[in-house]
Amino acid sequence: MAFLYPSFLWALTALAIPVLIHLFQLRRFKRIDFPNVRFLQEVTQQTRSRKKVRHWLVLLARLLALACLVFAFAQPYLKSSAGTTAPGQRAVGLYLDDSWSMDGQNPKGRLLDQARSDAQQTVMAFGRTDRFQVLTNRMEGRQQLLLGRDEALAAVSQVDAGPYAKPLSQVMLRQREALAQSDLLGRQAFLFTDLQRNITDVDAWTNDTAVRTVIVPLEASATDNLSIDSAWFESPVRRLGQAEALHVRVRNHADGPVRDVPLRLTIDGRQRAMAAITMEAGAVADSVLHFYNDAPGNHYAQLSIEDRPIIFDNTYNIAWHTASKLNVMLVAADAPGDADIKAIFSGDSLHNFTVQPWRQLDLGALAKQDLVVLNGLPEIPSGLANALRGFTEGGGSLALYPAMGADLTSYRNALGLFGTGFSTLDTNTVKVARIDLDAPFFRDVFSTMPANVDLPQVRARYRLSPPPAADALLRLQDGSAFLCAVHAAKGRAYFCASPLAPAGGNFARHALFVTSLLRMAELARPAGPLSHVIGDEATIPLDGVDLSGDAVSHLLGPGGTDIIPEVRRTMQGSSLVLHDAELQPGPYAVTNGSDTLEVVALNPPRGEGDLAAYTADELREALKAKGLNTISVLDMKGDSMAASLSELDKGSKLWIWFIIAALVFLVLETVLIRFSK
């Protein structure tokens, strides 16, 4: 047994006071002799003997009660096995939660500043020759090294809030891996965190008898926060001259309502739209901002609100590309319908239209197209079919109109790559009976549909069997699909059951043919993600961007950031691999030489906006319920981290038992005095 405050043991000298009181009593006894008192003398002797025993018992009870009080103030404890490790033989892991939520405040100031101060006091509480790991949410490779005390203090002082957030189970695993590399006997881990519920995954925690883990909770004063959750366009494509509707979702994490919070949209440095947000406590509100897409090329936009003190989620960055022209290629076989297709696209300034004969088709040119139209091909070679499948998976759109007397085997194999069946020609005359106006394909195309509208007539058709997930845009009177849209990864394939030749019907001469073909081009190559999450996405796809050539690609961003990312090329296109690059939120330009190929937007994780956190008592209960006895929550002693740390190695505390013992002895003394008279 040892004592936390051994200087209190000097108070044991006070035990002499009751002893002296009992030995030098002020009461004097007088001897009085008178005759015939033999029997009374025997009674007196017996009474004085009992009083003498009672006095000694009272003295003993008082001495024991006083001694127990002195021991209690000296705070005795039983040393733990970790506390016996000598300085210089200990490896200590320090994790500082540097996520954006640590910008929160409490009466002591900013949470991250407190974490840095507490971590530095922790380092100073250990020996100069002990070794330390300093870990943050960035989890860089160098953070797996054990540092000396001065190096650890310097590393702690450089920690600042950033966009990364990791579950605490991953943090504990990294700490244990680093400490296991050391041959030092004492291993201990500290986590300085605000215990946000979205990262405090207690169910994934495990015991480790080799590493004692101590959670140092930092509690924010308030958890009120308003954050921009996400944003998306109503239309999947960005086209020049198009009226855009941008949906913005705002989440209220506060316990009370908010009224008329301004939401601003800034595009390329100019404010283009504004709205006011009103929402109840804990609610989610969707707002729509409208603007006119009046410039081609790459665009960067920022959505912003006003909400303090947590400001990292007050902005949301997005980026997109507006094409000035759509690339449309007709793969022709000199079949009827070619002239109708050419008439739609060749004279339109919004389309860059080219024609290639199907036997001399350059498959490499497919990647540069937005829409590829196959019309009247007598057969579809397997090489062309595989190339078209890769083209649609990469984001392109395909439109296929069969030929009269087509090679069923080659067509069946080609359409089978898209999960679509293709069977024999049926020459029974039917009409198109239904247009799926609820499908996104026809959205905003028709304002009204007359009840007696004249729909195309079909004289010859192949039987199409699209997959269950396909959209049947047009159906015939017998319920079979006439025009269907099949999703293929990032792109889409459109299959028509009837040839465009006059023998197949009048679809090529109908206004619905022009509308559907223009819509196919308009929806070709839908825009990719408007933004990417820092830390969650190590790979950023670059749809339709050509990174070929000898020039080195760069990623240029805020604050003069200039990194050379790894470029990964696949059949689906090119992508950037960021690995563990430390990036700030904002717009980034992908450049190749002097050309800007694309603009991408990066945002911090949205989960950090929810500031709901465990309290220290809640976490203790969770640890107890899970049986995690090697993980503890530090009980802060006022503002002193050093005083709190001094108790970590004290093992079992015994002072409470000495208090109880002192009370027992005082009660015993009272009983002896009252009931032994």
Cβ of 52: how many Cβ atoms within 10 Å? Answer: 10
According to DSSP, the β-strands at 186-193 and 481-488 are unpaired
Three-class SS state of 514: helix
Written as one string, the DSSP assignment of 516-571 is HHHHHHHTSS----S-EETTT-SEEEETT----SSSPEEEEEGGGEEE-PEEEEET
DSSP state of 358: G
Locate 455 and state its tokens.
């729909």
Written as one string, the DSSP assignment of 567-592 is EEEETTEEEEE-TT----SEEEEEEE
E strand or H helix that includes residue 606:
none
Cα 480 from Cα 503, distance rounded (Å): 19
Written as one string, the DSSP assignment of 273-338 is EEEEEEE-TT-EEEEEEEEE----EEEEEEEE----S--TTSEEEEEEEEBSSEEEEEEE-S-TTH
Written as one string, the DSSP assignment of 412-480 is HHHHHTTT-EEEEEE---EEEEEE-TTSGGGTTT-S---TT----EESSEEEEE--TTSEEEEEETTS-
pLDDT at 464: 93
What are 114-150's pLDDT values in tens digits?
A: 999 999 999 998 888 899 999 999 888 889 999 999 9
Reduced 3-state DSSP string for 197-263: CCCCCHHHCCCCCCCEEEEEECCCCCCCCEEEEEEEECCCCCECCCEEEEEEEEEECCCCCEEEEEE
Question: In this model, does residue 29 exceed pLDDT 60?
Answer: no
What are 182-207's pLDDT values in tens digits?
A: 888 788 999 999 999 989 999 999 99
Q: Calculate Rg over the CA atoms of the chain.
A: 41
408-416 vs 382-393: helix crossing angle, rounded to 10 = 30
Q: Which residue has the higher pLDDT, 3 or 374?
A: 374
Cα 435 from Cα 483, distance rounded (Å): 10
The whole-chain average pLDDT of the chain stands at 84
Please provide residue 91's backbone torsions phi and psi, each rounded to the nearest 5 degrees: -115, 125
Cα 229 from Cα 252, distance rounded (Å): 10
Cα 17 from Cα 668, distance rounded (Å): 19
DSSP state of 497: S
Which residues are 78's β-sheet partners? Answer: 652
Lowest-pLDDT choice from 49-63, 205-219, 358-372, 622-636: 49-63
pLDDT at 537: 64
Total count of residues recorded for the chain = 677
**Closest of 23, 8, 18, 4 to residue 68, by C-alpha:** 8
Written as one string, the DSSP assignment of 160-175 is --BS----HHHHHHHH
pLDDT at 42: 54
Strand order in the sheet with 90-96: 131-135, 90-96, 186-193, 212-217, 631-633
CA-to-CA dists, residue 586 to 299, 310, 363, 565, angstroms: 12, 17, 37, 17
Mean per-residue pLDDT, 8-16: 80
Three-class SS state of 446: coil
Locate 632 and state its tokens.
């503890």
**Degrees (nearest 5) of the Cα angle 560, 581, 139?**
135
Mean per-residue pLDDT, 47-66: 75
Which residues are 396's β-sheet partners? Answer: none
Q: Token match 């891996």: residue?
A: 177
Please provide residue 477's backbone torsions phi and psi, each rounded to the nearest 5 degrees: -65, -30
pLDDT at 62: 82
Give the type of residue at 147: L
pLDDT at 26: 45
Domains, the chain: 2-79+655-675 (no CATH), 82-222+611-649 (3.40.50.410), 226-323 (2.60.40.10), 326-522 (3.40.50.880), 532-603 (2.60.40)
Question: In this model, does residue 53 exceed pLDDT 90?
Answer: no
What are 556-601's pLDDT values in tens digits?
A: 988 888 888 888 876 566 788 876 667 888 999 988 877 888 899 9
Cα 676 from Cα 147, distance rounded (Å): 68
Dihedral sign, Cα of residue 271, residue 276, residue 282, residue 286 = negative
Which residues are 286's β-sheet partners? Answer: 249
Q: Token match 């506390």: residue?
A: 83
pLDDT at 639: 61
According to DSSP, the β-strands at 243-252 and 226-233 are antiparallel
Mean per-residue pLDDT, 41-59: 65
Strand order in the sheet with 243-252: 226-233, 243-252, 284-292
Cα 80 from Cα 648, distance rounded (Å): 9
Quote the percentage of the chain above a pLDDT of 70.
Answer: 86
pLDDT at 46: 52
Three-class SS state of 660: helix
Mean per-residue pLDDT, 346-375: 89
Please provide residue 92's backbone torsions phi and psi, each rounded to the nearest 5 degrees: -120, 125
DSSP state of 196: B
